């Protein structure tokens, strides 16, 4: 384990990267606690890479051929894969083999949408807040079409915490909930043993006394459920109302997806200060990540474990036939450049980028390798953020720093400083433009130069940590959201 983990650092078993590479798949992971959707892919048989995108309170996801839907805090975003745009990505041509572009956003309000599925050209979602199944479309916040028999009226009261949806042959078959209660959050009173599995459309309870069940799925004619609070994958016989434990996962399980004979299951870390979970068997072993199970042998064959930033995972989806997919979020400026038509797709230039091209001729950029932090302070202190100057004075860095300076008329007017570690990771420490030269796209050009150097070093993801409480936080976010490979991380 890394003794000084950075945001979204993870460790994984050697078999995990090899498995994704062999199957030619990637994994999409939603984590509402971190507010991200993460694409996990393999560089080769030994190494994984991650692509993180901001989706506030990301929960349920749905995948259908070339479409992906993501439920977040108060909306659902539908994205479509456009391989031709992936190959021609403006700053990283011929890198991605898929790219999911936002094509529609539905304003749902806060519904706590859990499992979702594309069915018969409609998007179906488990509406946990209103204890019902809903269609998500442009007509209303949601259109309800089914509720459990014990739910007497639709109110935003989370009466039974209905969460899971199982589909077979494009038909809804089963649902899970944390209780068969009909009062405001009534399920909480018996949540550890009150879970139920229901048949659709009758609402008949097939199985009860489950431990917070999630993610019912029908795979190859068999019904699987995650008995979450016990950390179990179970296989249920609906005719007898019995089940067998397929494998014990050792963590709170939620979200799973199948590819071939391999099942990828999300697991979450139990809250250490929770009285409800402290006595559970999995309390001491739980972690956040993904576990790969080989169903024919009922055995765990690989895992990924987050060391920082991600404590809870909701959903896991397999992205088939893609070793390197990209994903855009609506908050990224670049998604506005994607123009799609039935006959083709294009990247357009935004007005500010046209201005940027005009400004490029006014400035030159110089790369500097920094051997001593104090030399950087001596020569360029007006172009370095004060907090980073303090780190340089403490000799926190030796020979890992690189600076790019923007010059006009021989005068240095802006600079970015970044680090490439021995572990082949990149971190942006400082970006500064003198007041008189701002709003001329210099910072954008500095980051473009930084991205170029980082990618030349075969690094696919960089991180910039910032203080979200500063007065210019929104400006910083807008600047870094233009970047494809630099993830902006607020200080914890």
Residues 85-99: pLDDT tens digits?
A: 998 888 788 899 999
Pairing of strands 132-135, 162-168: unpaired
By the 8 A CB rule, do 113 and 120 touch? no
Cα-only R_g, the chain: 24
Provide the pLDDT for residue 332: 86
Residue whose C-alpha is closest to residue 451's, from 88, 459, 337: 459
Tell me the CB-side half-sphere exposure of residue 116, using CA atoms within 13 A: 36
DSSP 456: H
Pairing of strands 462-466, 486-490: parallel
Residues of the chain with pLDDT under 50: 1
Residue whose C-alpha is closest to residue 201's, from 152, 165, 161: 165
Peptide bond into 201 cis (omega under 30): yes
Provide the pLDDT for residue 4: 63
DSSP 168-217: ETTEEEEEEES----STTGGGGGTTT-EEEEETTT--EEEEEESSEEEEE
Residue whose C-alpha is closest to residue 406's, from 372, 371, 465, 361: 361
The CATH number given to 350-490 is: 3.40.630.30
Query: What is the CB neighbour count within 10 angstroms for residue 347?
Result: 12
Provide the pLDDT for residue 357: 53
Strands (E), 220-322: 222-227, 232-237, 242-248, 252-259, 262-268, 289-294, 299-306, 315-319
Provide the pLDDT for residue 90: 83
Architecture of the structural domain at 10-341: 6 Propeller (2.120)
Provide the pLDDT for residue 91: 78
Domain ranges of the chain: 10-341, 350-490
**First-last CA distance in the chain:** 20
């Amino acid at each position: 384990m890394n003794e000084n983990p950075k945001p979204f650092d993870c460790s994984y078993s050697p078999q995990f990267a090899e498995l994704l590479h062999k199957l030619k798949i990637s994994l999409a992971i939603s984590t509402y606690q971190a507010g991200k959707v993460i694409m996990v892919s393999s560089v080769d048989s030994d190494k994984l890479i991650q692509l993180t995108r901001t989706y506030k309170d990301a929960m349920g996801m749905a995948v259908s051929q070339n479409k992906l839907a993501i439920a977040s805090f108060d909306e659902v975003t539908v994205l479509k894969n456009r391989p031709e745009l992936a190959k021609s990505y403006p700053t990283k041509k011929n890198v991605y083999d898929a790219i999911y572009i936002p094509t529609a956003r539905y304003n749902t309000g806060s519904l706590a949408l859990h499992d979702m599925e594309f069915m018969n050209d409609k998007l179906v979602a488990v509406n946990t807040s209103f204890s019902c199944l809903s269609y998500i479309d442009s007509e209303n916040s949601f259109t309800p079409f089914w509720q459990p028999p014990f739910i007497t009226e639709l109110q935003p009261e989370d009466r039974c915490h209905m969460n899971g949806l199982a589909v077979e042959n494009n038909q809804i078959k089963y649902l899970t909930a944390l209780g068969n209660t009909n009062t405001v959050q009534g399920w909480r009173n018996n949540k550890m043993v009150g879970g139920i599995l229901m048949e659709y459309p009758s609402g008949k309870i097939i199985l009860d006394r489950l431990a917070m069940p999630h993610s019912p799925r029908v795979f190859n004619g068999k019904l699987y459920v995650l008995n979450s609070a016990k950390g179990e994958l179970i296989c249920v016989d609906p005719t007898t109302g019995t089940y067998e434990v397929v494998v014990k996962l050792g963590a709170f399980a939620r979200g799973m997806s199948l590819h071939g004979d391999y099942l990828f299951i999300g697991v979450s870390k139990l809250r250490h200060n929770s009285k409800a979970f402290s006595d559970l068997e999995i309390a001491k072993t739980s972690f956040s990540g993904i576990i790969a199970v080989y169903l024919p042998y009922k055995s765990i064959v690989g895992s990924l474990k987050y060391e920082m930033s991600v404590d809870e995972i909701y959903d896991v989806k397999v992205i088939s036939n893609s070793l390197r997919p990209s994903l855009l979020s609506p908050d990224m400026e670049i998604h506005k450049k994607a123009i799609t038509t039935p006959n083709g797709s294009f990247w357009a230039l935004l007005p500010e980028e046209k201005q940027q091209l005009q400004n490029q001729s006014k400035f030159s950029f110089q790369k500097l390798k920094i051997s001593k932090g104090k030399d950087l302070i001596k020569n360029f202190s007006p172009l370095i953020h004060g907090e980073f100057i303090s780190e340089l004075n403490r000799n926190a860095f030796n020979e890992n720093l690189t600076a790019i300076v923007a010059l006009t008329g021989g005068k240095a007017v802006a600079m970015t400083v970044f680090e490439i570690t021995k572990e082949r990771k990149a971190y942006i420490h400082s970006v500064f433009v003198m007041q008189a030269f701002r709003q001329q796209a210099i910072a954008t050009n500095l980051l473009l130069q930084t991205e170029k150097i980082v990618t030349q070093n075969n690094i696919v993801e960089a991180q910039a940590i910032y203080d979200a409480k500063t007065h210019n936080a929104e400006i910083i976010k807008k600047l870094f959201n233009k970047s494809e490979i630099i993830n902006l991380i607020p200080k914890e």
